[in-house]
Amino acid sequence: MHWIVSSSVLSIAAPTDNGPVNVHAEFSGLKAGKHGFHVHEFGDTTNGCISAGAHFNPTKQEHGAPEDSIRHVGDLGNVVAGVDGNAVYNATDKLISLNGSHSIIGRTMVVSIGIQCRSYFILLVLIPQH
């Protein structure tokens, strides 16, 4: 089964260089329910989530929820879609950053729409601006 998912990332911003990152995203076309939302290691989407790599985890921690003290840097929690397939994600994350060793720039953000890798939806690749 396949779903066509669209998204509009409205904001990914940090108020200061080393401050928390605010993420706001809106999705449509998801199956109702919870979907994992993660930052993956690489910005390469040539082969879907396989080339995007694993969850971004530079600190080599166990998987966890955004509020956990131990978690992958790329663990952003869940996107919860309603019966209409729409979801809104709003979070301020203290672990991801837009620079340094926890930077999500140049990486891929993924919403999972199934267990197997081929059923992942690549949300975006964050590209640094010069």
CATH code: domain of residue 88: 2.60.40.200
Asked whether the predicted pLDDT for residue 118 surpasses 80, the reply is no
- Given CA atoms 101, 106, 112, 117 in this order, what sign does their dihedral have? negative
Residue 34 lies inside a defined structural domain of this protein: yes
For residues 127 and 105, the answer to whether their CB atoms sit within 8 Å is yes
Residue 1 lies inside a defined structural domain of this protein: no
CA atoms of 4 and 55, how far apart (whole Å):
23
Q: What is the pLDDT of residues 54-89, one digit of tens each?
A: 999 999 999 999 999 999 999 999 999 999 988 898
Output 84 or 121, whichever has higher pLDDT: 84
Q: How far is CA 8 from the centre of its chain?
A: 13
Number of neighbouring beta carbons within 10 Å of residue 105: 15
Output 65 or 5, whichever has higher pLDDT: 65
* pLDDT at residue 10, rounded to an integer: 54
CA atoms of 25 and 101, how far apart (whole Å):
24
CA atoms of 35 and 114, how far apart (whole Å):
8
Residue 33 lies inside a defined structural domain of this protein: yes
Residue 66 lies inside a defined structural domain of this protein: yes
The number of folded domains in the chain is: 1
**Domain carrying residue 30:** 6-125
Residue 91 lies inside a defined structural domain of this protein: yes
**pTM given for the model:** 0.81
Residue 29 lies inside a defined structural domain of this protein: yes
